[in-house]
Structure 1
């Protein structure tokens, strides 16, 4: 493997972005797999985090990037770039802004015009690297031939900064201190820990970081993790659904945030995809279904190939909230306190719920605003929750949703019955004592209940126990103490669930 380090790539405004390039030993042009991040292109993986089970253990491995040894052995070059204002790249930090996206566009174009390149470039990587792949693809660089977006969110406000209008304080503080600050080259540019709390609505700051998914036309492989219930899952599904690409695939899996990308099944799929669109091997994706889902049976999974998500033939059914109950039959009218839990009866035959979930919650409050935390759990036959595998292997709920009540307005043109769309561009106070409908988006899930098992819906007043996944900024919390949930009658709160027959 040939390695060239610290190459200064010119960008449109003259500021260089610095890259490392790994190429096969053999002569001749090869296709290129590119990525850009603020994490340090030369920071060896163990210097940042412990190496996961499936991550190769060699000196060239860098956090969330393609393995250059594996890919150069298969006839690809691998390029890693430092984001402007981090690592070896000078300039002002503009994370996820227009300049950031244009820099990656320019790096892709440089890679596509080098003598060692065939002119075919793909973006690939996990998390931030995938997010930047979406961003660059929407700008349509001519030499970008494909995108592998593996656990990469697409909607900065709704998925990364303010989920349901709730500031992602735990994640932003942890991530910035651990990932960004050590790599910054200077003080120029925004510190999100200071800036984001000042932008609670979806304003121009967030719009500048919004990806035009409908402008993406290159072949796409979107990798979604059912356990990515806080940051990336929604974006991979929405990105796949909304991209205008003629050729696009979605795979939803389980496991940690890192391991699946490096597992044998995933590497085989990535190689087939890139061979098809970067090497022109026309039959390499033959037999790969447009959608492949790991259907969860507790922590066990079975693969299912299909054509769409939501799944064709989904039976959308209402599970009505009662006095601690959750059932397909509406209960008598009444109220229950917030927070509460609601359980189904034990099922008598297998019940699969795969797809997005929506909560229609009628609530009366004493205050003018509050935060809703909704969690969906799979209970075993003894009533013990069966957790999903979270990003670091920790236990997480099977699904989650959030909504700040003052952000309850929806856009009817963009909403679906199973996925309300909140503009988040204004705050409308609650009227104390007045029943109010809150439509809460719960991110997609896959849950299969075995006979004797149950489904639980839980409402919480905070999520501080989730640590880096918490929405607990001391100045931005709106606890829901004293609120009541309406059940039955004309204010029949319910979950809309995707029942698969």
Structure 2
């Protein structure tokens, strides 16, 4: 393997982006796999995250990026770049800005015209790298031929900065201090956490950081994780749905945020995808279904191929909130205090795979309210069956979550669907104290299988309830739930909207 370190790539405004290039031995031109981030191209993985013991964590490995040794052995060059204003790259750091994406565009175009390149370039990586893949794809650099977007969101406001309109400070603050600040090249930078805190409504700053998926036309392999309920899952699914690409695949797996990308099955799938669109092997993706889902069966999973999302055979059902339980039957009119914890016990196998929503009628003594929705699963012995969070078994999370600030309840009528409310977040609409008001809460997609005797639990509450990394606990931003009431039955029949999958049918 040949290694060229600290190569300067000029951008359109003259700023230099510094990259490393890993190439196979020999003189034949090869396709390129590129990535760019503010995490530091020179930071060896074990130096920053020694807790991850990956099989292929070699001496050239960097957090969340393709392994150069593995990919060069298979005939690809691997390029890693430092984002403007970080690592060894000059300029002012302004994350997720148009300039950020244009820099990656310029790096891709530089790669495409090098004598060692075939002119075919892909973007690949986890998390940040996947997000940049979405962003640069929307700019359509001519030499970009494919994107592997592994756990990467597409809508920074709704999926990262302000889920449901509520400040997601827990993750952003920790991430900024731990991964961004150590790599800054100077004091001249824009602080992403400060910008998010200062901007409650979705404005032009957020729009600049939202991918225009209608412009994503290159082939996409979008891989989400059921447990990535704090940042990426929604974006991988919405990205696959709305990308204008003719060729696109969606995979939703389980596991930690890191390990699956490097698993044998995942590398084989990535290799097949890149063989098809970088090397021109027309049959490389034959037999790969457009949608492949890890259907959760308690603590286990069952892989299943599908053709569409949501699943066309879904039976959408309403599960009503009553004073002490959840029921298929609409209750008589009643009220229950906020917060509420309500259970449903399955009498037969019940699979829920797809997006969910909660239609919640509330009244409040104040003019605003933060709503946090958790969906949990319990076995017949009353033991919680958690989802695997970002750190796998070390960070269990609910099976599904949703958020909404009541004053952000306004819906976009052009994008809202019964199973996926779409909030505009462009104005604040205070509650009228004491008046029942309907809140349509988006709950991120899930896969849950209840066996007879197992319980589905709905928690409607005013805080994150010990969600750790995902915490929304900025005291300057929060809206109290003290004095709120949930309305039930009659004209105010609060209910879950659930994706029930018939168990007797199998998608061919």
Classify the TM-score, shorter chain: over 0.9
Query: In structure 2, the residue corresponding to 1:175 is in which secondary structure?
Result: helix
Distance 1:42 1:54 in 2: 19
Match of 1:357 in 2: 356
Cα distance, 1:312 vs. partner? 1.5
Name the counterpart of 1:381. 380
What secondary structure is seen at the aligned counterpart in 2 of 1:71? helix
Change over 3 Å in CA distance of 1:114–1:259 after alignment to 2: same
Tell me the equivalent position of 1:371: 370
Q: CA RMSD in A?
A: 0.9
What does 1:248-267 correspond to in 2, within 5 Å?
248-267=248-267
1:186 aligns with 186
- Mapped partners of 2:469, 2:377: distance in 1: 23
For 1:201 and 1:318, how far apart are their aligned partners in 2?
31
Equivalent in the alignment of 2:196: 196
Q: Residue in 2 aligned with 1:398?
A: 399
Q: 2:58 touches 2:67 (CA, 8 Å); kept in 1?
A: no
Show the counterpart of 2:505: none
1:292 aligned residue:
292
- 1:22-421 matched pairs, under 5 angstroms: 22-344=22-344, 346-393=345-392, 394-421=395-422
Could you report, residue by residue, the CA deviation over 1:162-221 in whole angstroms, capped at 9, with x for unpaired residues?
Answer: 000011100111000000000000111211232211101101111111110111000000
Helix, strand or coil for the counterpart of 1:417?
coil
Does the aligned pair in 2 maintain the 1:364–1:484 contact within 8 Å?
A: yes
**How far did 1:460 drift?**
2.0
Partner SS for 2:105: helix
Report the secondary structure of 1:385's partner residue: coil
Partners of 2:221 and 2:159 in 1: CA distance: 19
* Secondary structure of 1:471's aligned partner: coil
Query: 1:56 deviation in Å?
Result: 1.9
Matched ranges for 1:431-470 at <5 A: 431-463=432-464, 465-470=466-471
1:117, 1:219 → 2: CA distance?
19
Tell me the CA shift for residue 464 of structure 1. 5.8
The equivalent of 1:497 in structure 2 is 498
Give CA-to-partner distance per residue, 1:121-170, whole Å, 9 cap, x none: 00000000000000000000000000000000000100010000011100
Shift of 1:55: 5.0
Contact 2:95/2:192, CA 8 A, preserved across alignment: no
Q: Deviations over 1:41-72 (max 9, x none)?
A: 01000111124243523211100000000000
Deviations 1:330-365 (A, max 9, x none): 111100011011111x22221000000011000011
Residue 9 of structure 1: how far off its partner (Å): 0.4
Q: Which secondary structure state, in structure 2, belongs to the residue aligned with residue 280 of structure 1?
A: coil
State how far apart, in whole Å, the 1-side matches of 2:227 and 2:54 are: 17
Superposition TM-score, scaled by structure 2 size? 0.97
C-alpha distance in 2, partners of 1:336/1:106? Answer: 57
- Aligned counterparts of 2:490 and 2:39: Cα–Cα separation in 1: 53
Bigger CA drift: 119-128 or 304-313?
304-313
Count residues in correspondence.
Answer: 500
Q: Distance in 1 between matches of 2:232 and 2:289?
A: 22
CA distance in 1, matches of 2:281, 2:156: 35
Q: Counterparts of 2:304 and 2:208 in 1: how far apart (Å)?
A: 37
Q: Provide the secondary structure at the position in 2 that maps to 1:468.
A: helix
Please say if residues 464 and 471 of structure 1, whose CA atoms lie closer than 8 Å, have aligned partners that are also in contact.
no
Q: CA deviation at 1:112?
A: 0.5
CA contact (8 A) 1:464 1:472 kept: no
Instruction: Specify the SS of the correspondent of 1:377.
Output: strand
Alignment-derived partner of residue 16 in structure 1: 16
Q: Deviations over 1:93-144 (max 9, x none)?
A: 1100000000000100000110000000000000000000000000000000
Gaps of 5+ in 2: 503-508
Structure 1 portions without partners, runs of 5+: none
TM-score normalised per structure 1: 0.99
Give the whole-Å Cα distance in 1 for the aligned partners of 2:357 and 2:55.
Answer: 36
User: How far apart in 2 are the matches of 1:299 and 1:423?
Assistant: 36
What's the offset of the Cα at 1:482?
1.4
The answer (yes or no) to whether the contact 1:377–1:457 under 8 Å persists in 2 is yes
Q: Secondary structure at the match of 1:62?
A: coil
| Structure 1 position 467, deviation (Å) | 2.2
User: 1:19 touches 1:82 (CA, 8 Å); kept in 2?
Assistant: yes
Q: Residues 55 and 259 of structure 1 are in contact (CA less than 8 Å); yes or no, is this contact kept in structure 2?
A: no
